[in-house]
């Protein structure tokens, strides 16, 4: 694997870790939002029902159009809340029952309001059969409050479950995020160690090997088994060292040959000097006849011995000196 591929793999692993953490973080946020939605829904419903109960009691004491309209406005708001796009799938049956109870509250309140429209009550809201009418109105109001409390109880269950879920999510988050941080650090450390082993360590080994070769140890091998640019470079250094060793051996042989020739030439010169000294001492000369080439060579002493001109070429036959 090449170095660029290793670096790309390292980047890809980091991206995978970041995406996984982002997905987990998003999942936690969605769970928290769902739990908070339960809690908020239940609290808003309880507050609305409390206001509706207060309006019912107020209307019972002051049967006027204004509190009646306020009661109906509050009812419409609660009805819209219960009949809206609520996505609490686990509580579908409970919410359906709450809708029915709220509709019963509306029917009971309308019946209560109708009792004030059947006649013209006096200051105390009483008619000739006022005691019965008053008892009926009180009974209807109690039924409205009863339905309201029933819905409030169901809303409290939803709110409490939402709060419990939210606390559970928060508790798990306190354990989850440190674990995620630990995993991220572990992945980064592992990635750094991998990069060091596959890139930094071979580079250090290559640097040490080049210093050893540079010191003159051409037998040292720096090649690694890594299948990347560094491995190729280290093996190229080994090939270069082999070639340098071959050249160095050839150079050593050449120097030895030159030295041997120098010694031979010096020995030959010494031999010639001794020969010339011997010829002069014995008043003699030397000659050489290459029969195959037909060439004759005279020494300077030979010319001097016979009184010949040194510029005259050696001869054979009749011109041969006696």
Mean per-residue pLDDT for 253-273?
80
Q: How far apart are CA 108 and CA 115, in angstroms?
A: 11
Q: How far apart are CA 144 and CA 105, in angstroms?
A: 5
Tell me the percentage of the chain whose pLDDT exceeds 70.
75
E runs forming strands in 181-320? 287-290, 295-298
C-alpha separations of 104 from 18, 99, 144, 164 in Å: 53, 9, 8, 30
Contact 276, 301 (CB under 8 A): yes
Report pTM. 0.48
Q: How far apart are CA 261 and CA 308, in angstroms?
A: 35
Residues 6+ apart with CB under 8 A from 61: none
Q: How far apart are CA 229 and CA 3, in angstroms?
A: 7
Residues 6+ apart with CB under 8 A from 109: 56, 71, 75, 140, 144
Instruction: Give tens-digit pLDDT for 63-112.
Output: 889 999 999 999 999 888 888 765 556 677 888 888 899 999 999 999 98
Strand partners, 295: 290
Q: At what angle do helices 130-195 and 92-117 cross, to 10 degrees?
A: 150
How would you classify residue 22: left for phi > 0, otherwise alpha for psi between -120 and 50, otherwise beta?
Answer: alpha
Q: How far apart are CA 206 and CA 213, in angstroms?
A: 10
Taking the domain 3-198, which CATH number applies? Answer: 1.20.120
Q: Kindly tell me the burial class for residue 71, based on how many C-beta atoms sit within 10 Å of its own C-beta (0-12, 13-18, 19 or more).
A: buried
- Tokens for 241, please give them: 């060292």
Q: Kindly tell me the burial class for residue 37, based on how many C-beta atoms sit within 10 Å of its own C-beta (0-12, 13-18, 19 or more).
A: middle
| Confidence at 224, pLDDT banded by 50, 70, 90 | low
Q: Flag the least confident range among 5-19, 64-78, 119-133, 205-219.
A: 119-133
Return the H-helix or E-strand segment holding 277: helix 229-281
Instruction: Give tens-digit pLDDT for 156-203.
Output: 888 888 788 778 877 877 877 778 777 777 877 777 777 767 666 777
Strand partners, 297: 288
- Tokens for 251, please give them: 């150079």
Instruction: Give tens-digit pLDDT for 241-252.
Output: 677 767 666 667
């Amino acid at each position: 694997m090449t170095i660029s591929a290793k670096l790309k793999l390292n980047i890809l692993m980091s991206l995978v870790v970041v995406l996984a953490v982002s997905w987990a973080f998003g999942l936690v946020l969605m769970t928290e939002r769902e739990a908070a939605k339960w809690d908020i829904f239940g609290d808003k419903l309880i507050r609305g029902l409390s206001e509706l109960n207060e309006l019912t009691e107020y209307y019972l004491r002051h049967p006027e159009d204004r509190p009646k309209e306020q009661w109906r406005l509050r009812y419409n708001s609660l009805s819209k809340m219960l009949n809206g796009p609520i996505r609490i799938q686990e509580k579908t049956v409970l919410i359906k029952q709450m809708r029915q109870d709220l509709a019963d509250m509306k029917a009971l309140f309308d019946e209560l309001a109708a009792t004030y429209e059947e006649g013209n009550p006096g200051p105390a809201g009483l008619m000739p059969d006022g005691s019965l009418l008053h008892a009926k109105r009180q009974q209807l109001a109690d039924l409205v409050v009863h339905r309201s409390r029933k819905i409030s109880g169901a809303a409290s269950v939803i709110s409490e479950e939402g709060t419990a879920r939210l606390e559970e999510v928060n508790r798990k988050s306190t354990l989850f995020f440190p674990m995620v941080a630990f995993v991220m650090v572990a992945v980064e450390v592992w990635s750094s160690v991998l990069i060091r082993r596959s890139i930094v360590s071979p580079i250090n080994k290559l640097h040490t090997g080049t210093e050893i070769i540079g010191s003159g140890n051409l037998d040292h091998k720096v090649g690694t088994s890594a299948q990347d640019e560094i491995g190729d470079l280290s093996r190229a250094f080994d090939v270069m060292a082999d070639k340098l060793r071959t050249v160095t051996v050839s150079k050593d042989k050449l120097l030895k040959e030159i030295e041997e020739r120098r010694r031979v030439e010096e020995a030959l010169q010494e031999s010639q000097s001794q020969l010339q000294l011997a010829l002069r001492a014995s008043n003699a000369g030397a000659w050489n006849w290459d029969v195959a080439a037909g060439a004759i060579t005279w020494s300077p002493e030979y010319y001097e011995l016979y009184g010949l001109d040194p510029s005259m070429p050696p001869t054979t036959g009749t011109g041969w000196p006696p």
